Amino acid sequence: MHVIDSHTGGEPTRVILDGGPDLGTGSLAERARRLATDHEEFYLSVMREPRGQPAMVGALLVEPVDPTCVAGVIYFDMGAVLGMCGHGTIGLTVTLAHLGRISPGVHRIETPVGVVEVELSDANTVTVKNVESRRVHSKVAVDVPGHGVIEGDVAYGGNWFFIVDPSPLPVNTGNIRALTDLAISVREAAIAQGAGGENGEPIDHVIFQGEAPQRDVHSRNFVLCPDDTYDRSPCGTGSSARLACLAADNRLAPGEEIVQHSVIGSPYRLSYQTGPNGGVIPSITGQAFVTAQSTILFDGNDPFKNGIAH
């Protein structure tokens, strides 16, 4: 299996060029469902240690249905198959350029939740125009065992987010363990108490919005991903959901640009345009760098062939 690894603001992406399972035909949403139900062993073996690493997102290249797209992609981490991934799309675009498959300019990429547009400005800088994002519930109270009631907005940005603003804890690297534990409890409470999307979609990510020390930075976020790691980048789908909340609260005008930092200080430039269905079309600009080009091997005698479960 040939892969190319990159990171976007510190968050790793592994693009799988070949050697993945046969997912058959149909829409990318159908093929993503098949990956989730029939091929868990495959994606865990590529994401888990010793081949993968915590926080890594896999990007399985598949044939797009839409012929105007340069690629189809299904994202996953070691916790779940994802609808979309913003940092992964920036990493994938830089990887396609590294391979000589695309040049600077605008391209379309098909994902299970729809087609996204990417603009490659230079070898490392990409703007993603994400799928329409929306807030579906505001100020939802969840009772978090051991903590008490926490209020948050439920919003969609290609994945489902519970966004807590302001964060119950300061968002800084010294608090990563405590933020992670609290975010897991919030996600579990939200799921148990039915706080999800309009059709009952479960929350898969939690965001705590904190203050940034820099005057020119709008805020700093902590994002918990399905695999219980935190996003080293400001999370593209999470930033999209957050833009939908800012727009719904009239806290950011269409076209106005802000800088969002992750908990480790990596930046995205964010803005939005009003979407056709009452939501927002987010623009996310970030940078990715290729870190490795490898062949992954699976030895039938290896007791950890399918990765370490812990």
Residues annotated as catalytic are 85, 235
Q: Which is nearer to ligand PYC, 218 or 242 (CB)?
A: 242
Q: Would strands 280-295 and 125-129 be described as parallel, antiparallel, or unpaired?
A: antiparallel
Q: How far apart are CA 233 and CA 87, in angstroms?
A: 7
Segment contacting ligand PYC (CB under 6 A): 63-71, 118-126, 228-236, 258-266? 228-236
Q: Which is nearer to ligand PYC, 58 or 215 (CB)?
A: 58
> Cβ 90 to ligand PYC, closest distance in Å?
8
- Judged by CB under 6 A, the residue of 132, 153, 165, 231 near ligand PYC is 231
Please state the length of the chain: 310
Is 46 within 8 Å of 1 (Cβ atoms)? yes
> Cβ 297 to ligand PYC, closest distance in Å?
26
Q: Which is nearer to ligand PYC, 171 or 225 (CB)?
A: 225
- Judged by CB under 6 A, the residue of 225, 245, 258, 263 near ligand PYC is 225
Segment contacting ligand PYC (CB under 6 A): 30-38, 80-88, 169-177, 254-262? 80-88
Q: Tell me which H or E stretch contains 115.
A: strand 114-120
Q: How far apart are CA 209 and CA 221, in angstroms?
A: 5
Exposure string over 50-72, b if 16+ CB within 10 A, otherwise e: ebbeebbbbbbbbebeeeebebb
Q: Is 5 in the site for ligand PYC (CB under 6 A)?
A: no
> Cβ 223 to ligand PYC, closest distance in Å?
7
Q: Which is nearer to ligand PYC, 28 or 57 (CB)?
A: 57
Q: What is the dihedral of CA 226, 228, 234, 240, to 10 degrees?
A: 20
Q: Is 237 in the site for ligand PYC (CB under 6 A)?
A: yes
- Judged by CB under 6 A, the residue of 46, 85, 206, 290 near ligand PYC is 85
> Cβ 130 to ligand PYC, closest distance in Å?
9
Q: Spell out, one character per residue from 145 to 164, where the chain touches ligand PYC: x when CB under 6 A holds, - when not.
A: --------------------
Q: How far apart are CA 101 and CA 15, in angstroms?
A: 14
Q: Is 47 in the site for ligand PYC (CB under 6 A)?
A: no
Q: Which is nearer to ligand PYC, 36 or 147 (CB)?
A: 36
Q: Is 57 in the site for ligand PYC (CB under 6 A)?
A: yes
Q: Would strands 205-210 and 160-164 be described as parallel, antiparallel, or unpaired?
A: parallel
Cα 216–218–219 angle (5° rounding)?
Answer: 125
Q: Is 236 in the site for ligand PYC (CB under 6 A)?
A: yes
Q: Which is nearer to ligand PYC, 285 or 301 (CB)?
A: 285
Query: Got the DSSP string for 66-107?
Result: STT-SEEEEEE-SS-EES--HHHHHHHHHHHHHTTS--SEEE
Is 269 within 8 Å of 257 (Cβ atoms)? yes
Chain positions contacting ligand PYC, by CB under 6 A: 11, 57, 85-87, 225, 231, 233, 235-237
